[in-house]
Structure 1
Amino acid sequence: MNSKDIGVQLINGFLETELAAFNDQYREADSLSSQYRRSFSIAWVCYFLEPWVSDSFKKALSAFVSNVMDEEDYDTFGWQRIPSLQAASFLLTANEEHRDDLLKHISCGQSTVRPFMIRSAALIAPLLSFNNKYLKRAAEKNIEVIHGYYEESTVLYLCTDGDREQKKRWALTFKKKARAQQVEAFQRFFEENKDYRNTFFADEFAEAKSYFIFKLFSNPVLSKYQSAGEPFNPSENFSSLTEKENKHPLSKAHIDLSCLKKEKTGLFKEENQ
């Protein structure tokens, strides 16, 4: 088995094992924290290593999410358990129902659950449209009622795919309506010559990556091939990972909100010699 095949086996083994563990603990009341970590890590792998994900896992994940959403107690229980899996299902299968149900819950009333909803949607921010009505409505509600993490949901919304002028007009509208306790946040959004910094997203992304790496290198399959003289080199196999991480708008503490800043014009023009 070559190194690439080992990589595919390890990634899908991780995904299948973690989804099975998630399913086993789905209704355990005291498992919420570990389930959040597990499901977000599944979604992280699906986004950043999507070309390696098997078709069988894509189908299994989508079916699992659909089944949960069809359960009678979904509106009182299930909705807060699977946001990251909804994000993963959307990016793997383009299931818009799964995506939009997640986005609706970004402005949920439970302050302990809301950050997980926002972070789950953040993973797929590059795939979301600024014109998505569910995300727009949720971000605006969080601002209007001053929900906890309204700042982060605003940043998420501004980092989706859309026209920079449209984003700027939207943000200016809410900057003008900002309450006293919101003024500082909106000022930081628009501050010239200074990057906007927020570790809310980057920290969670890093935790998911660490979780995946730990599970990867504790997998007996890896030990088997290492001892058999077939070394597995992650930097060689996952060479596209760093590039994709660098391109993700929310993977670092310094977040690009240049869409809200004055556009730089050409100050220096070539002169005919």
Structure 2
Amino acid sequence: MIEILKLAACLPFLLYSSYLDLKTRRVPNRVWKLMLLSLSGFLIYEIVNGGIYFLFQLVFSFFSSLFLVYLLFRSRVFGGADAKTLIVIGTLIPVYPALEFHGYTFPLLGFPPAGLFALTVLENSFLLTAAVPLGLFCYNLLHFTPDMLKKPFYMLFAYRINIKDLRRLLEKGRHIRLAERFELNNGKLYPFFAGRGITVNQNMISRLEAHEEQGLLGSTVWVTPGLPFMIPITASFVLAVILGDLIYYFLTEILSRFYFFIGK
């Protein structure tokens, strides 16, 4: 019962952070502080009842989550809010929740061998996010131009947009980022991959317009939609509770079928 209450108490914070991420692409630190403070009673209760063994699981889950998200954050895979979310989840839910409901045992697909709930949430979120490159690639195919062949890899995470349309989109509150940074050298403009992208603002647009007028840049640039990663994290949180580790399940299914065919 305590696990159900704790999981249910996490959801409002995750849903609210997803809303903020969608609207502003920013989630203030007070959300995670309030989440930790509000749910600390559950941890105290579990430490008292679980003793040293639960405390060991808590410490292991916290430092494992911290180490993993630090590496991913330094690699610019995701932002600070996403990293803090997984650290908080790893702290509040150090033991993978096992639930019984109407004769069903959750997660339905079984428990992953690592047993780290935050790791499963992260893996599921990556799996959900994998649908985005596929969608962008299909969009780029529908709006294909020969220039895209120069950088076909960009078609998986960005799309081309006219520089003249950037101000209008910015005024509408669209969250887009430049997929490339530009450096002027000896009268030529050189593009470089910009990782997670560069924020588009009025000054940036003015520079791009000036480069276009000078003939240094074409009429279009690659932009990335700057997707709110909190949404797949929240969705994967629910999936981790109900189904389990989807990547682990799919991999074991593929390997078991592979060995089956080999053994025939």
Answer yes or no: same fold by TM over 0.5: no
Structure with a larger share of its residues in helix: 1
TM-score (norm 2): 0.26
TM-score (norm 1): 0.26
Higher relative contact order (Cα pairs below 8 Å, separated by 6+ residues) = 2
Structure with a larger share of its residues in strand: 2
